[in-house]
Amino acid sequence: MIEWINVITQGILLGGIYALFATGLSLSFGVMRLINMAHGDFIILAAFLAFAVVQPLQINPFYMILLIVPLMAFFGYVLQRLVLNKTLGEDILSPLLVTFGMSIIIQNLLLEIFSADSRGLNAGIVEVASISLGENMAIGVFPLITITIAIAVIIALQVIFYKTRLGRCFRATSDDHITSSIMGINTKHIYGMAMGLALGVTAIAGVLMAIRTNFDPSAGPLQLLYAFEVVIIGGLGSFWGTLIGGIILGIAQTVGSHFDPGWGILAGHIVFIIILMIKPNGLFPKMKGK
């Protein structure tokens, strides 16, 4: 019994990082209907950026969040204004293939620069520290920090979306971008801001992932699949839904791995497919998927 409580607790905590993976994807899809196929590679890109600074300077990777977030946010804004805005329209072919092209470019550039070696960030004692809860149970400090950050990010996004002018613009543009532009909203700028925000959150996810586990240039697509599964399970457009989605995927994976280490990711995919069969719009949909 205690064993199972342990497994489920690990799963819930794992959900924190998956929720962070998914929030950025949900944001860009929610505001501008853009499925960013390079999303996973942006996570890995953030991880490598952190790695490139941390390695020579030997500083605590947690500080990297302060540096990488604005960097990636700026990159996201520029990318959206210069490239991605040109792909948006009725047809999803163009954004899909353009971001897929980006995905391949990022993967192979990282491969050329950093080689195919597996890398990791060392955050010191925090990584292994745990809080003991009784005899056979312990909660890792780092996963706890991760899920706390995930919840903080979700609260922050809720505030931005529902309490600020920018958030009103996001929601208005998402509902009807033509009317929004008639009402004086610069939708191109709003899309840029949304992508900036999305990649900012992605940067947090990337740095935390780099501390949690090893990564290499080809790891992006798998992170994209996780993020995508979480968005669908949670339901599109709901930030709290992504947290629940992340937790469900996390539990599915830890339970799967508990039976056989080779079944973790597979169990996640299968739970995703089952939920899809039962509720194609996810558990807590706020808007309908196209």
DSSP code of 237? T
Is 146 or 223 the residue whose CB approaches other proteins more closely? Answer: 223
Interacting residues of 66 by C-beta distance below 8 A, sequence separation 6+:
none
Residue from the set 21, 48, 75, 272 that interacts with other proteins by CB under 8 A: 272
Please give the residues from 111 up to 170 whose contact with other proteins meets the rule CB under 8 A.
Answer: 111-112
Q: Is the Cβ–Cβ distance between 26 and 237 less than 8 Å?
A: yes
Q: Work out which of 21, 29, 75, 142 binds other proteins, going by CB under 8 A.
A: 29
- Report if residue 108 touches other proteins, rule: CB under 8 A: yes
Q: How far is the CB of 33 from other proteins (least distance, A)?
A: 8
Burial grade of 66 (CB within 10 A; 0-12, 13-18, 19 or more)? exposed
Residue with tokens 């192979």: 108
- Adjacent-strand bridge partners of 119: 215
The residue within the footprint of other proteins, chosen from 7, 8, 35, 185 (CB under 8 A), is 35
Cβ closer to other proteins: 108 or 179? 108
Q: Which helix (H) or strand (E) holds 132?
A: strand 130-132
**Non-local CB neighbours of 254 within 8 Å, separated by 6+ positions:** 7, 8, 10, 11, 14, 264
Residue list 59-88, contact with other proteins (CB under 8 A): 83, 86-87
Chain residues in the site for other proteins (CB under 8 A) = 29, 33, 35, 37, 83, 86-87, 92-94, 96-98, 100-105, 108-109, 111-112, 221, 224-225, 228-229, 232, 260, 262-263, 265-266, 269-270, 272-273, 276-277, 280, 289-290
